[in-house]
A and B are shown apart, each in its own frame.
Chain A
Amino acid sequence: MLFDMLRDPAVLVLCAITLAGCSGLPGLLLRHGPLGQRLASAAALLSSLIALPSLVYLLFWRQTSSFTLNWNLPFGPCEIALDPLSAFFLIPIFLVFPAGALYALGYWPAVERRASERSVTFFYGLLACAMALVVVARNGALFLIAWEVMAVSGYFLLVAEHAEEEVRGAGTVYLVASHLGAGALMVLFSTLFFSTGAFQFPAAGSLQVTAGLSTLIFCAALGGFGSKAGLMPLHIWLPSAHANAPSHVSALLSGVMLKVGIYGLLRVISFFPHPPLWWGALLTAAGLTSALMGICIASAQKDIKRLLAYSSIENLGIICTGIGVYLLAAASGNRLLAYLGLAAALFHVLNHAIFKPLLFFSAGSVIHAAGTRELDRMGGLAKRMPRTAFLSLCGAVAICGLPPFNGFASEMLLYLGFFSEAQAGAPYLALGAPVLALVGGVAVISFVKLYGIAFLGAPRTDGSARSHEAPFSMLAPMGLLALLALAGGLFPQLFLALVNPALAALAGPGADAVALPVAPAWFAVAGGSLLVLSAALFLFLKGRAKAVPAGAGPTWGCGYIRPAASMQYSGSSFGALFGSLASTLVRSRISAGKVAGVAPAATKLSYAPEETVLQRIVLPTISIIGVGFAFVRRLQHGEVHVYILYIFATLLLLMLWVH
């Protein structure tokens, strides 16, 4: 009986989810030493070894399994189901979670981080488990419970270094934004309950409601899930949260948790038989805006992790654009475009879950080695950490969407969608292509800056001069992710084989039976020839350089005889030229001390990139709202017995209201 159950891949996935959630428990009981953390990492690896093959099996055979738990709570039976869409979104979870757990062994070692390691390890497992539960839940109440556990464990992870003021601030903003989003989701599920009479999710394409209700449901979903996915302008919490969390946590938050928002949006859209055209138009516009604004602001950042966080906004924008294109095409009956849009979105979900964790891991190694998050204090790390530098280069090329890596393959699908619309009667959608090209160009600025300033040149401070190579436990997950990024770029059909079942689950059976305009073999041909040609030229040039007289010397300083490392172009100066063009979005706030007199004393000059819309519009509005609601604070005074009175009074009022 037990054996039969274990032969069911869906049961195996549920076991893996449970195992992930419990992975941090032994560490809580074991007081000392690194054993707890090692056990947690082993459990994480084991859970992923169980889950990934089962998920691939489920996707490949397009199976749907559902389980119902008859609990006594008043929300109706609790249903859990694994359809291809859920299985697809579980893949990033079980890819990044074990990679981060392994990385944590070197990055957040129990011996050095005695105070926070146990809670980080515990909540890290709990976060993965909660995200997986969100993805498999088919009951609104269970979904919200899992969503809340996910949000709260995310909070505890990100305030791991709560001794720092900045971290606490980021945590508070995250918690507030997260709960505003959860509020929108409560509206969403209440409306669903109101229209179907149950907390069970309606089956795909079966929700028949009035136009007003469907608009309300969509807007609530966009508010709740869009803020989780970090779409502009709901992204305010994202950069500081992802920058201040430990790097392996940032990898999970950025690589996976944002995608849970995308999952929610897709799930809600799937309820409706015929989503209206304007949903698609809105999502396309929001996606392109997020992509462009996100990457423009990223290009001005000087904190390596903030840069990566803003680039997450860009990538989620690209995913959202793909979904919008799909909805537009589905509403107008264009099957090829629907396929290209949705396949690009889902493919990019996988891709971003590969190269973004890779880059966050590399940022973690860099911060670990150089002791700072500021790009302008790094430099020359490639000499001291060559393996990390090589793997980061793969990540940087991949995230710019350049061949031969996976980012190119998914962006290519979206481009093909835009270009295929060029022949339509009113080719508005084709205008997406130049926008995407601009986004790609700015991404190159941002990541040339990140890579060139952090890893290349001469070390700008003693910290980066004394840096050291990361240990194997940190390099191994990065190497694996880099390999996957290359595999996705050379053989996109492998990833599309995972994408297609999920796509068919969303867009209806047969929606994936569309011939791609470009044969996947061309990716292998182009990427393979690029790799071979580059290697051949590299070796040829090396051979030529050996054959001719060779010398070494300092970098040509244009005649200046006392060059210093601090004279190098810094990250801020590198981004300044483009920043001057994008000053409506982001500007540098410069604060300088006074210089006066004949022999002025030493003074300081500092500059910080500042998001214009946030600083000039959003934050002032929030502070005005804060003043308006000051009277509410009188209710909150820290006296617990009065709080209990509040609860009692509320309950009493509710009971009176119900009767």
Chain B
Amino acid sequence: MIDTLFHMVLVLAMPPLLLGVIGKTKAAFAGRVGAPFLQPYYDLSRLMRKGVVISDTTTWIFKAGPAVTLAATLFAALLVPLGKHAAPVSFEGDMILFAYLFALGRFFTTVAALDTGSSFEGMGAAREVTFSCLAEPALFFALITLTRLSGTMSLTPMLNHVTSPVWVAAGASLILLLAGLFVVLLAENCRIPFDDPNTHLELTMIHEVMVLDHSGPYFGCILYGAALKLYLLGALFVNIAVPFASGNAFVDWALFALSMLVLAVAIGVVESVMARLRLIRVPQLLVAAMILTAFSLVLVVR
């Protein structure tokens, strides 16, 4: 019960902090002071109070897009365990639902983007669906490897199974898997080198360009949903990358939260030291990620 409570609090409250940490890291690399860690929270509360401008072209789909996407991401948040604890909802096959909930969110984000009739947003939508469809097989290869290692078909036992002895036995495979998953994490969350969340050149953007016309609470909802998605895929990554468990639940929660912050710093470092890829290179990197995760499967089969 107390675990579920912790899970809910972390999942609902912590995601924007990750964005703050990434921003601060990037600022540090650029030699700036940067916005405070809690800036994303201020942004969200400001957006909830801001006015809304809605395009005349749009229908109810435009407003349903952010709602359905956030709903799907929130339900996905119940499926993924945080640290070595059980997720609130766990059943055989929940990892398939996990992947498909993001697909549902993507469907509604892109449809809402097309609802505005803007060519830029259509462009972003086309890129989003194309790149995500290439990221999907990589995620599934990783899930198969984990299923084979753990012998279960549910996220909680699958990820809790990854402990130090497993790393000793199948370390090479897990490293490849993590590399693939990290690429998927960056691509799915539209971070550099796939997409630049801060750019102001609509022609080159993916996620940000799809939501150009959303404003006020709707945009706040999208921003929060994006942070939550980053958090969930990050949790999937951290659960594999950090195989330690102390046995004390509270220490484990703290360890998990700390690992997430370290991950955010890592993403910030990647964003600072890399340039954005040319669009035609993006599919190649995603296919490379897919092959990495496929190799991780080959290594555990042998």
Contact = CB atoms under 8 A, between A and B. Distances in A.
Interface of A: 379-380, 382-383, 386, 389, 393, 396-397, 400-403, 408, 412, 415-416, 418-420, 422-423, 426-427, 430, 433-435, 437-438, 440-442, 444-445, 447-448, 451-453, 456-458, 517-519, 522, 525-526, 529-530, 533-534, 536-538, 540-542, 544-545, 548-558, 563, 565, 567-569, 573-578, 581
9 contacts: A422-B147, A427-B297, A433-B143, A434-B140, A517-B93, A517-B153, A548-B50, A569-B122, A578-B130
A578 B115 CA distance: 21
B59 A456 contact: yes
A408 B301 CA distance: 29
B251 interface: no
B100 A440 contact: yes
A402 B103 contact: yes
A457 B116 CA distance: 5
Contacts of A519: 91
Contacts of B52: 545, 548-551
A568 B118 contact: yes
Interface stretch (B13-21, B68-76, B171-179, B259-267): B68-76
B190 to A, nearest CB: 15
B66 A415 contact: no
A333 B72 CA distance: 38
Contact of A545 (B57, B74, B117, B216): B216
Interface stretch (B2-10, B106-114, B240-248, B270-278): B106-114
Interface stretch (B28-36, B131-139, B230-238): B131-139
B75 A548 contact: no
A452 B111 CA distance: 6
B53 interface: yes
Contact of A526 (B51, B97, B294): B97
Interface of B: 48-59, 61, 63-64, 66-68, 70-72, 74-75, 89, 91-94, 96-97, 99-101, 103-104, 106-107, 110-111, 113-123, 125-127, 129-130, 132-134, 136-141, 143-144, 147-148, 151, 153, 202, 212-213, 216-218, 221, 283, 290, 294, 297, 301
> Which 5 interchain pairs have the tightest Cβ spacing?
A569-B122, A441-B133, A452-B114, A457-B117, A533-B71
B67 A441 contact: no
Most buried by B among A412, A533, A575: A533
A416 B137 contact: no
A435 to B, nearest CB: 7
Contact of A554 (B55, B63, B100, B143): B55
Contacts of B49: 548
A415 B111 CA distance: 26
A541 B114 contact: no
Contact of B71 (A419, A456, A537, A581): A537
A386 B60 CA distance: 10
A549 B50 CA distance: 7
A553 B97 CA distance: 38
Nearest to B146: A422
A578 B216 contact: no
B115 A533 contact: no
B148 A438 contact: no
B144 A430 contact: yes
B67 A397 contact: no
A403 B97 contact: yes
Contact of A542 (B55, B63, B107, B144): B63
Given A445-B133, A577-B127, A518 B93 contact: yes
A516 B51 CA distance: 50
A123 B255 CA distance: 70
Contacts of A565: 117
- The DSSP consensus for interface residues of chain A is helix
A411 B148 CA distance: 20
B151 A423 contact: yes
A529 B99 CA distance: 17
Contacts of B56: 552-555
A578 B91 CA distance: 34
Contact of A567 (B74, B92, B111, B119): B119
Contacts of B61: 382, 393, 456
B59 A386 contact: yes
Nearest to B96: A415
Contact of A551 (B53, B122, B132, B140): B53
Contacts of A563: 118
A423 B148 contact: yes
A438 B114 contact: no
A573 B140 contact: no
B301 A427 contact: yes
A388 to B, nearest CB: 12
Nearest to A415: B96
Contact of B129 (A444, A530, A567): A444
Nearest to B53: A551
Nearest to A531: B71
B67 A541 contact: yes
B118 A555 contact: yes
Given A420-B153, A567-B119, A437 B221 contact: no
Given A517-B153, A526-B75, A533-B74, A438 B133 contact: yes
Contact of A517 (B48, B92, B133, B213): B92
A456 B111 contact: yes
A448 B121 CA distance: 13
B283 to A, nearest CB: 6
A552 B144 contact: no
Contacts of B55: 552-556
A452 B115 contact: yes
Given A416-B92, A545-B216, A548-B52, A581 B57 contact: no
A261 to B, nearest CB: 28
Contacts of B129: 441, 444-445, 448, 578
Nearest to B62: A456
B53 to A, nearest CB: 4
Given A419-B93, A541-B217, A569 B63 contact: no
Contacts of A558: 118, 120, 202, 212
A402 B125 CA distance: 18
A569 B110 contact: no
A382 B93 CA distance: 36
Contact of B132 (A441, A542, A548): A441
Contact of A537 (B119, B221, B290): B221
Contacts of B136: 434, 437-438, 440-441
Nearest to B147: A422
B144 A427 contact: yes
Nearest to A557: B118
A415 B133 CA distance: 17
B99 A437 contact: yes
Contact of A412 (B57, B63, B96, B138): B96
A596 B248 CA distance: 78
